[in-house]
């Protein structure tokens, strides 16, 4: 068994044989007038192909086709292309340079247009396909299509009767490929290394976890067969629930929000029906660069995300580094136990300059929207007091600089048992709480879930752990505070039933998970359980019973 990792472009689960689509080599060395003639013929052939399908397409697909047609008829595109041909370049090189130039123009625009740059790249592949006369793959049996690149237009034209899912090395979560795959309920994995795949082998495509399992064991196949049957039902109906507004048992709004790491994720969350952002992991803005983002850079991104959701909460978590998250240009002293050392709010209080720059950006971005600010890895009241002093200093600096600002609601992440035991003590100092269950589990069970030798201790359904979560929710509500969850546990369907039953105010998950959770919330009912007397297998039995009942209602 071998696992290929990538990024989920479209959720869902499927099992089938791999069809490896190796595209023809493109030896397109035409030059001069012949190259121009080849371009004109390819352009007209592709335009005819696009126009012939235009009336049969969905709105998203028509949007893509119209973009292609505009670009093919753009005189500046052809002029630049012919300039390159006149300079002596061959057809293939001239087309590559021309599309690269237009891509760069889009990459300098807003993030949504940056994703359209991928459509320009895909159009180049369509031009080459037409010139070499390549046909679309014919699937003789139900298959998972794997290729270096599957363009959106290719996906539209590939027969769907035997297409189970797609693995494409190129693509993005906001690309037309991903959007069309989601509309078709096809699992899609992007960013995977397809060179490791032979073709013809049995595989499981898990669009939830973003993995492709090659040559799975019989146990894995059996497990995923059950998941597959469930998802066939869920996927069909979840799309209808993107705009559904769930309610708690008491009639109050039940928020299902998105976890994001950048502006692109925010657009995806909006598309999927997110009721705000429950966790903006700002550390991703600090990675893959040589220096930290400036106040202005951060302000522009936070402001755009806040304004996208207007009255819905957008919770911006301040920089959470340390432990397993290090930033290349920041010097970290070696620690014997980094997970117990300088991380989260501890690091921010130690490195005040970077922290204050981020605070100023958040304060400025909070005008005219519903941005919230959240501190990570808080244990004690003293840490909140110290952080709020720095907020006050940031305010004073902004006033001196003549910049407008607003102090947003301030909350903390509950990621350690001591933070939950301290909830009553936080009452006068914070406005809301969010459960970070990834770390909370680690610090409660003292276990690294990635360590195979102790993986038997990773038991997220142990009743004692849920007793701790219940304590957090009840304690927050007793002091009149709002509480959500932004850890991975919130996206688990059985855990979702429990969280709803315990009265949590918000569940924040990966954007592609939102429609399914909204669908479940339309049928959900409170599960009455007492964690004190239950064993783990008994709790799972109770949850499975309720889950099956919901599935029967959804399927009826």
Strand-pairing partners, residue 146, are 20, 167
Q: How far apart are the first and last CA of the chain?
A: 37
Q: Which residue has the tokens 């059985």?
A: 494
Report d(CA 544, CA 318) in Å as an integer. 37
Q: Is residue 546 annotated as part of the catalytic site, yes or no?
A: no
Could you tell me which of 261, 256, 263, 259 has the C-alpha nearest to residue 242?
Answer: 256
Which SS3 state, helix, strand or coil, does residue 66 take?
helix
Record the tokens describing residue 335, joined without a space: 């620690």
Annotation-wise, does 157 bind a ligand? no
Q: Is residue 486 annotated as part of the catalytic site, yes or no?
A: yes
Annotation-wise, does 449 bind a ligand? yes
Q: Are the C-beta atoms of residues 312 and 266 closer than 8 Å to each other?
A: no
Annotation-wise, does 404 bind a ligand? no
Record the tokens describing residue 111, joined without a space: 């993030």
Report d(CA 167, CA 11) in Å as an integer. 12
Annotation-wise, does 334 bind a ligand? no
Annotation-wise, does 415 bind a ligand? yes
Q: Are the C-beta atoms of residues 193 and 210 closer than 8 Å to each other?
A: no
Which of the 8 DSSP states describes residue 334? -
Record the tokens describing residue 212, joined without a space: 């492709």
Among residues 176, 372, 462, 546, the one annotated as catalytic is 176
Among residues 372, 462, 477, 486, the one annotated as catalytic is 486
Handedness of CA 35, 37, 38, 39 (dihedral sign): positive
HEC sequence for 101-125: HHHHHHHCCCHHHHHHHHHHHHHHH
Annotation-wise, does 281 bind a ligand? yes
Concatenating the DSSP letter of every residue in 304-333 gives HHHHHHTTS-EEEEPP--BTTB--TTS---
What are the binding residues for phosphoenolpyruvate?
Answer: 281, 317, 438-439, 449
What are the binding residues for Mg(2+)?
Answer: 415, 439
What are the binding residues?
Answer: 281, 317, 415, 438-439, 449
The catalytic site residues sit at 176, 486
């Amino acid at each position: 068994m071998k696992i290929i990792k990538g990024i989920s472009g479209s959720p869902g689960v499927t099992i089938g044989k791999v069809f490896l689509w190796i595209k023809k080599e493109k030896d397109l060395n035409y030059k001069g007038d012949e190259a121009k003639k080849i371009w004109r013929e390819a352009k007209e052939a592709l335009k005819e192909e696009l126009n012939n399908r235009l009336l049969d397409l969905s709105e998203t697909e028509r949007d893509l086709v119209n973009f292609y047609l505009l670009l093919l008829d753009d005189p500046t595109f052809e002029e630049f292309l012919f300039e390159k041909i006149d300079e002596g370049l061959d057809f293939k090189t001239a087309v590559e340079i021309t599309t690269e130039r237009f891509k760069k123009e889009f990459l300098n625009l807003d993030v949504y247009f940056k994703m359209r740059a991928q459509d320009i790249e895909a159009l180049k592949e369509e031009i080459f396909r037409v010139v070499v006369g390549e046909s679309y793959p014919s699937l003789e049996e139900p298959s998972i299509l794997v290729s270096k690149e599957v363009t959106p237009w290719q996906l539209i034209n590939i027969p769907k009767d035997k297409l189970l899912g797609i693995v494409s090395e190129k693509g993005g979560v906001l690309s037309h490929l991903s959007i069309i795959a989601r509309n078709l309920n096809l699992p899609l994995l992007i960013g995977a290394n397809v060179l490791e795949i032979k073709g013809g082998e049995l595989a499981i495509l898990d669009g939830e976890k973003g993995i492709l399992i090659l040559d799975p064991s019989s146990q894995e196949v059996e497990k995923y067969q059950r998941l597959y049957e469930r998802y066939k039902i869920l996927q069909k109906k979840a799309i209808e629930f993107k705009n559904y507004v769930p309610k708690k048992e008491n009639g109050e709004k039940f928020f299902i929000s998105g976890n994001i790491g950048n502006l692109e994720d925010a657009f995806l969350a909006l598309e999927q029906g997110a009721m705000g952002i429950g966790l903006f992991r700002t550390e991703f803005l600090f990675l893959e660069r040589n220096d930290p983002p400036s106040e202005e850079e951060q302000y522009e991104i936070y402001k755009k995300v806040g304004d996208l959701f207007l009255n819905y909460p957008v919770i911006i978590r301040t920089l959470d580094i340390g432990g397993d998250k290090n930033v290349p240009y920041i010097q970290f002293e070696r620690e014997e136990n980094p997970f117990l050392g300088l991380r989260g709010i501890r690091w921010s209080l130690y490195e005040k300059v970077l922290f204050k720059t981020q605070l100023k950006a958040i304060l400025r971005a909070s005008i005219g929207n519903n941005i919230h600010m959240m501190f990570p890895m808080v244990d004690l009241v003293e840490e909140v007091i110290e952080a709020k002093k720095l907020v006050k200093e940031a305010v004073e600096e902004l006033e001196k600089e003549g910049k407008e600002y607003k102090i947003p609601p301030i909350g903390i992440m509950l990621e350690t048992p001591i933070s939950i035991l301290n909830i009553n003590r936080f009452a006068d100092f914070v406005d809301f709480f969010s459960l970070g269950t990834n770390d909370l589990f680690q610090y409660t069970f003292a276990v690294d879930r990635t360590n195979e030798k102790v993986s038997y201790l990773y038991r997220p359904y142990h009743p004692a752990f849920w007793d701790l979560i219940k304590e957090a929710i009840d304690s927050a509500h007793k002091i009149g505070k709002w509480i959500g969850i932004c850890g991975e546990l919130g996206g688990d369907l059985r855990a979702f039933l429990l969280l709803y039953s315990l009265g949590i105010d918000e569940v924040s998950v990966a954007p592609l998970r939102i429609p399914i959770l909204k669908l479940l919330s339309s049928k959900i009912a409170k599960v009455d359980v007492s964690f004190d007397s239950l064993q783990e297998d008994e709790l799972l039995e109770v949850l499975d019973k309720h889950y099956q009942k919901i599935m029967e209602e959804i399927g009826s």
